[in-house]
Every structure is written in structure tokens, then in C-alpha cells.
Amino acid sequence: MSAVLDSHGHAHDHEDHHHGPPAGLMRWVKTTNHKDIGTLYLWFSFMMLLTGGVLALGIRAELFRPGLQYWNPEFFNQLTTMHGLIMVFGAIMPAFVGFANWMIPLQIGAPDMAFARMNNWSFWLLVPAAGLLVASFFVPGGATAAGWTLYAPLSTQMGIGMDMGIFAMHIMGASSIMGSINIITTILNMRAPGMTLMKMPMFCWTWLITAYLLIAVMPVLAGAITMLLTDRHFGTSFFNAAGGGDPVMYQHIFWFFGHPEVYIMILPAFGIISHVVPAFARKQLFGYASMVYATSSIAILSFIVWAHHMFTTGMPAAGQLFFMYATMLIAVPTGVKVFNWIATMWRGSMTFETPMLFAVGFIFVFTMGGFTGLILAVTPVDIQLQDTYYVVAHFHYVLVAGSLFAMFSGVYFWLPKWTGHMYDEGLGKLHFWCSMIFFNITFFPMHFLGLAGMPRRIPDYATQFADFNAVASVGAFGFGLSQLILLVVVLKSIKGGAKAADNPWEGAEGLEWSVPSPAPYHTFETAPHVK
């Protein structure tokens, strides 16, 4: 990857004919500027992260001790369900779209996203969707309590909160598809002259592939939840055996969406890490081409492994064997990525500012989630561990220590470019160490609970599980509070701080570092030339 700026031809100033953003609230409502929209996405997802986090703390408070303390079981199920839905659809996915909005035009030398008005629309759709999700707690019967997977026929029993959830997900799906179309069009058509696909920054590559995944699978989810809706209200029997349907069909359709969804939430994270590690190792990414191929392989394989979420539904031995082998194959391209990052670090000249700490932390802890994924891929072991806390530990290792830590890394990496100020390095490091330590205190004991047979989604448990649950709850509150440090860091950096240079990082490469910090409202109105 060598997106080196050609200094000829585009060096005219930014001031003379540019106007700044309009003032006031309407700037944000009407904006079509990719940087404004990126900012909106990032703030929105941070608020959803805090909302989902509060729900998680409600879960961990109840589970601190055996017995029923705070919630009735129905509300507990609402907490686990909405925690999952809000984190997946409200926090992780929009946050990556926020990164895409900010960084893709800057990285490929484009003046904005391809469809600027649609961009505005795809963000503002999220707000009513999130409103529906949160408001569903307050309708009769409360929010949906069928688990974030909304398995039929349990989901056909729920009250109106379920319909609000379905509607919210339809809206969010539409938003995601519009965002993806925008990203694909921007990347394929608006790269600066000279930037061939194989010179494109890794973050753009991972997002290009992610956007294709989104377009392929979001309609599948929409289909599944629409069938659910008609089963609930219009007398169809897609998932009702009494009417000739099949409850397991819901799971097949859901996971045909759900497994690529897992990679939708991790591939852009891989992209961010592939920028941060070379920058702070002051050394080129070891294998750019193999990273691109590995990302593509993961995306393709993600379509043929969905039923590994369903080993206990009772599929034929041939099915179990196929999905076991296919799933284990994913370890190969994922391994290639990890080896590549480590080879990039090897014999580099490393410094450990906060972005690098989060990146190294990501590689270390995400890989642990990868190993538990490998163990879960083995069908007989999976049958023993399916729907236990081992699975909860596994997917939090890849989603929190994976996606979320990579996003933290990206925030610290690009914050100087966004705000024009350096962030508080001391607080940043504190945020990293608190997150890292509390994360492991929260989720590592869950492996033991799962191995010992504690099912997920239960509000009360055998007293023998008590100690590890107590430890996990203490960790969860620590982890939750640690995230307020990030808020402080970001607010401080917006308000002031040391002025950031155009390129504040010694080893960072790419077009985004060729524009001033903060990035002007309009950038690359004349395309740069890339050699």
C-alpha cells in the first residue's frame, strides 16, 4: 500500500472560495457533508453504546448474586434482548459507517461521498429507529424479550414491542443498505487518479467488502422479520408447524444473515488495525495483497457456515460435518491477518501511544476470541457449549475486544484529524488499561461458567456459579464506567489541547494526513494525484 501524494497540481489554498458550515441545529439536520454525517454517526453510536451498556449493567446487577433481586424474569429477558439489538444495530454498525463517512473520502482523495443527500437520509433514518427500540420498553408488555435473534415461535408470542422492534430493524436495514450503496459507489468511482484498487488503503478495502456483505444479507434479515410479522398478524404459518411451517426455517434464514453480519462487524475493524499497526511500527504493512485476499476469503466463507449456530437443532450428520469443516476453514484467513500484523510489528520501531495500545490489545484479545471460536466450531464440543456462557464469552471477545477496541484505536488515531487537537495521552492510556483489565475480569470467568454448564439468558442460577458471576459483575461495572474516560478525552480534544500537525504520527501514511488538522469542511475539491 503506497498512497503517496504527488505534490504537484493541487496545492492551491483552501480559503478563498470555501464557505464554512452553516450555524445552528439546521446544520446537522440538513447536512450533506461527509464529515458532518460521520460525526453524527459517531455520536449517535456512542449514545447507543451507553444505552446498551446501561442495559448490560442491569443484567449484571441481577446476576451479581443468585436469586431474583431487581427484575422480574420477563424484564430480564427484555434487557438481554435489547442489549443485543441496540449494541449490534445501534452501536457497532453505525459506528463503522461513521468511520467510513469520515475516512473513506479523505483516504481516497474524494471531495465527498457519492450520494450526499442519500447519506443524510441514511443517518437520519437511524434516529426514529433507535427511538422505536427504546420506546418499546414503555408500551404494554414491554420490549421484545425473545433474544436478539428473535427466534420464532417465541417471537410470535410477544406484545407490540416486538412489532416496534421489527419496524426499527426494517428502518435500520434500509439505512445500512443506503450507506453501503454509497460506500461502494464512492470507492469504485471517486478514487483519486492513480489510486488503483490494489493501492487503496486497507480500511477502504475492508469497507468495500463489508458493504457488499451488507447488501447481500440485510434483505435476508428483512425477509425473515417480515415473515415473522405476517405470522404474528396476518395468519400466515411460515414458522408455525401447525400450519405447515417450520420454526427451524426461521433460524436458517436468520443465520444466513447473522453469520455474514458477524464479519460485517469485524472486517472494518481489521481495516483500522491495518492502518494503526504500520503507523506505530514505522514499517509498511507486511503483506498488503494477502490481507486483501484474506479479507475476501473470509467474506466468501461467511456465506457457507451459518448453520454452525444451529448444531443442536438436530441436523443430519452430513450437515454437521460440512458446517464444522467450513467453519474451521475460516481460521485460516483469520490467522493470515494476525500473522500479518505481527510480521508488520516485527523489527519495526514501535511506540505505544493509545491507538497502538488498543491495536496490540485488539490483536491479543481478539485472537483469544478466535481460538474459542475454533473450539466452538467442533460440533460435539459445540453441542456441549451451545447456549451457555462460553458462547457469551466468545462473542464478547470478538465483538468488544474485537470490534469495539479496534474502533477505540481508530478514534484515538484519527481524533487529531477530526478535532485539530491532540487528545490527552495520559487519559487515553488510562482508558486503554481500564478497558483491557475490566474487559477480561468481566468476560474471562464466563468461559468457566459456560464449561460448567450455565445457560445464557437466565436471571437466576445455581449457587455453585455464584463466584464467577460476582467477579463478572464487578468487572462489568468497571468496564462501563471506564468508557466515560473516552467521553472526557473526546470532549477535551474538541475544546482544545495541543494543536495537531497535518500528520501528527511519525509513521502514518495516506492522503488523510496530507490535509490540515482539523480537516477543512471541504477537502480534495481538486483530486490529488497518487503515484
Partner 1 sequence: MGVATSCRKPLRLITGLALVAVAGGALAAVVDMPGGPSVRQINLTAPVTIIASQIYDLHLVMLAICAVIFCAVFGVMFYSVYAHRKSKGHKAATFHESTSVEIAWTIVPMIIVIVMAGLATKTVLAMKDTSNSDLTIKATGHQWKWGYDYIKGEGEGISFYSTLATPREQIDGLAEKGVNYMLEVDNEVVVPVGKKVRILTTANDVIHAWMIPAFGVKQDAIPGFIRDTWFKADKIGTYRGQCAELCGKEHGFMPIVVSVKSEADYSKWVGEQKKLMAAKMDDPNKQWTQPELIARGEKVYAAACVACHQATGKGMPPAFPPLDGSKVVTGPKDNQVALLLNGRQGTAMASFKSLSDAELAAVITYTRNSWTNKAGDMISPADIKSARGWDSAKLTQLSAKAP
Bridge-partner residues for 125, per DSSP? none
Among 135, 343, 488, 494, binds partner 1 (CB under 8 A): 343
20 sits near partner 1 (criterion: CB under 8 A): no
300 sits near partner 1 (criterion: CB under 8 A): no
232 sits near partner 1 (criterion: CB under 8 A): yes
Bridge-partner residues for 529, per DSSP? 6
For helices 202-233 and 288-301, what crossing angle results, to 10°? Answer: 10
**Choice between 287 and 497, CB closer to partner 1:** 287
Binding span for partner 1 by CB under 8 A among 124-132, 190-198, 213-221, 359-367: 359-367
**Choice between 374 and 488, CB closer to partner 1:** 374
Cell of 522: 471541504
Residue 299 C-beta: closest distance to partner 1, Å: 17
Cβ-Cβ contacts under 8 Å for 70 (sequence gap 6 or more): 58, 61, 62
Contacts of partner 1 in 305-324 (CB under 8 A) = 312-314, 316-317, 320-321, 324
**Choice between 105 and 333, CB closer to partner 1:** 333
In the Cβ-directed half-sphere of 206, how many Cα atoms lie within 13 Å?
Answer: 28
Cβ-Cβ contacts under 8 Å for 404 (sequence gap 6 or more): 49, 92
Residue 37 C-beta: closest distance to partner 1, Å: 35
61 sits near partner 1 (criterion: CB under 8 A): no
Q: How far apart (Å, rounded) are the C-alpha atoms in residues 344 and 289?
A: 14
304 sits near partner 1 (criterion: CB under 8 A): no
Phi-psi region of 516 (alpha: psi -120 to 50; beta: other; left: phi over 0): beta
Residue 410 CB neighbours (<10 A): 28
Contacts of partner 1 in 448-487 (CB under 8 A) = 448, 451-455, 457-468, 470-471, 473-475, 478
Please tell me whether residue 12 adopts helix, strand or coil conformation.
coil
Q: Are 98 and 41 in contact (CB under 8 A)?
A: yes
Catalytic residues: 83, 112, 148, 175-176, 259, 261, 263, 274, 308-309, 334, 337, 456
**Choice between 10 and 492, CB closer to partner 1:** 492
Q: How far apart (Å, rounded) are the C-alpha atoms in residues 277 and 445?
A: 29
288 sits near partner 1 (criterion: CB under 8 A): yes
Q: Tell which residue, 346, 435, 439, has the closest CA to residue 396.
A: 439
352 sits near partner 1 (criterion: CB under 8 A): yes
Residue 363 C-beta: closest distance to partner 1, Å: 7
Q: How far apart (Å, rounded) are the C-alpha atoms in residues 420 and 397?
A: 33
230 sits near partner 1 (criterion: CB under 8 A): no
Contacts of partner 1 in 375-434 (CB under 8 A) = 375, 377-381, 383-384, 386-388, 425-426, 429-430, 433-434
Q: How far apart (Å, rounded) are the C-alpha atoms in residues 100 and 104?
A: 5
Q: Are 172 and 250 in contact (CB under 8 A)?
A: no
Q: Are 213 and 260 in contact (CB under 8 A)?
A: yes
Number of residues binding to partner 1, judged by CB under 8 A: 120
Burial bucket for residue 317 (CB in 10 Å: 0-12, 13-18, 19+): exposed
Q: How far apart (Å, rounded) are the C-alpha atoms in residues 213 and 219?
A: 11
Contacts of partner 1 in 134-193 (CB under 8 A) = 140-141, 145-147, 151, 153-154, 156-160
70 sits near partner 1 (criterion: CB under 8 A): no
**Choice between 109 and 271, CB closer to partner 1:** 271
Residue 22 C-beta: closest distance to partner 1, Å: 40
**Choice between 76 and 207, CB closer to partner 1:** 76
**Choice between 222 and 336, CB closer to partner 1:** 336
CA 436 to the chain's CA centroid: 18
Q: Are 302 and 255 in contact (CB under 8 A)?
A: no
Residue 240 C-beta: closest distance to partner 1, Å: 8
Binding span for partner 1 by CB under 8 A among 50-58, 115-123, 204-212, 286-294: 286-294
Contacts of partner 1 in 424-453 (CB under 8 A) = 425-426, 429-430, 433-434, 437-438, 441, 448, 451-453
285 sits near partner 1 (criterion: CB under 8 A): yes
Residue 11 CB neighbours (<10 A): 10
Among 28, 121, 212, 339, binds partner 1 (CB under 8 A): 339
Q: How far apart (Å, rounded) are the C-alpha atoms in residues 425 and 489?
A: 9
Phi-psi region of 282 (alpha: psi -120 to 50; beta: other; left: phi over 0): left
325 sits near partner 1 (criterion: CB under 8 A): yes
Residue 99 C-beta: closest distance to partner 1, Å: 25
Q: Per-residue DSSP letters for 206-235?
A: HHHHHHHHHHHHHHHHHHHHHHHHHHHHS-
**Choice between 134 and 374, CB closer to partner 1:** 374
What's 265's DSSP letter?
A: T
**Choice between 396 and 447, CB closer to partner 1:** 447
**Choice between 10 and 429, CB closer to partner 1:** 429
Among 23, 25, 26, 242, binds partner 1 (CB under 8 A): 242
Among 11, 29, 47, 68, binds partner 1 (CB under 8 A): 68
Contacts of partner 1 in 79-138 (CB under 8 A) = none
